Amino acid sequence: MPIDAVIFDWGGTLTAWHDIDFHAESLALAQAVVDADHDVEVSQRLLHAAGSTIWGRSRDHQQSATVADLFTEAGLAHDPELLKAYYDFWEPHTYTDPVVRPTWEALRADGIKVGVLSNTIWPRAWHEHFFERDGVLELLDGAVYTSEIPWTKPSPRAFAAAMDAVGVTDPARCVYVGDRLFDDVWGARNAGLKAVHLPHSAIPPEQVGHTEGTPDAVVQSVAELPALVRNGL
């Protein structure tokens, strides 16, 4: 069966996997807290716990969240203008794999739509800035950032939103590529898409969901996708 679209996960798929220091992350987030009647270490602990809560909700109930929701969950007021430390903390982990541009160009040359579906609390503008910096934004036919929709992967609704964004309708003619066996592989196949696994990420045990899926194919690099799709997976 011909393939109409290849949709990619972001972290650990289009970027290299990095282990993240979540203590340092929540300390950076705490720089944006305003009107707190306690010190930054208390804010850090509240934000760290809130992060576990919102990502637990994503894992167990496929409920999405935004950066603002994270502060609300922590019971803290914040000023979005003060998120620079948080943004700067993450920035080194956002670089697009250099093979992505030629891979997306090859897929598009074959008439295949290219999309992104990312479980993220960040605004679209941040993601688009990273893609633009790395020269790949113009190659995207559509992208869904779950901060903009109610659901996260592995909800079939998240995959349907991504297909809608790239302008395709038949999940059986779509391939999803990701580094997580629950969110990406199980989720995509459960939604009727084909699933390709990129197995280079060290997923923390608490981030693994109820089922690990079996991929239709395993690749060592996203650069393998154009040939894989041409050969019908």
Residues at the contact surface with Mg ion, assessed by CB under 5 A = 9, 11-12, 179
Q: What does the alpha-carbon distance between residue 32 and residue 52 come to, in Å, rounded to a whole number?
A: 19
Extract the tokens encoding 219: 């690749």
Do 64 and 152 meet the contact criterion of CB atoms below 8 Å apart? yes
Closest contact distance (angstroms) between CB of 15 and Mg ion is 8
Extract the tokens encoding 33: 């807290």
Cβ distance to Mg ion smaller for residue 4 or 183: 183
Backbone angles phi, psi at 174, to 5 degrees: -120, 145
Closest contact distance (angstroms) between CB of 14 and Mg ion is 9
Report the residue number whose CB is nearest to Mg ion: 12
Cβ distance to Mg ion smaller for residue 51 or 76: 51
Cβ distance to Mg ion smaller for residue 169 or 211: 211
CB atoms within 10 A of CB 171: 19
Closest contact distance (angstroms) between CB of 154 and Mg ion is 12
Closest contact distance (angstroms) between CB of 91 and Mg ion is 17
167: left (phi over 0), alpha (psi -120 to 50) or beta: left
Cβ distance to Mg ion smaller for residue 97 or 170: 97
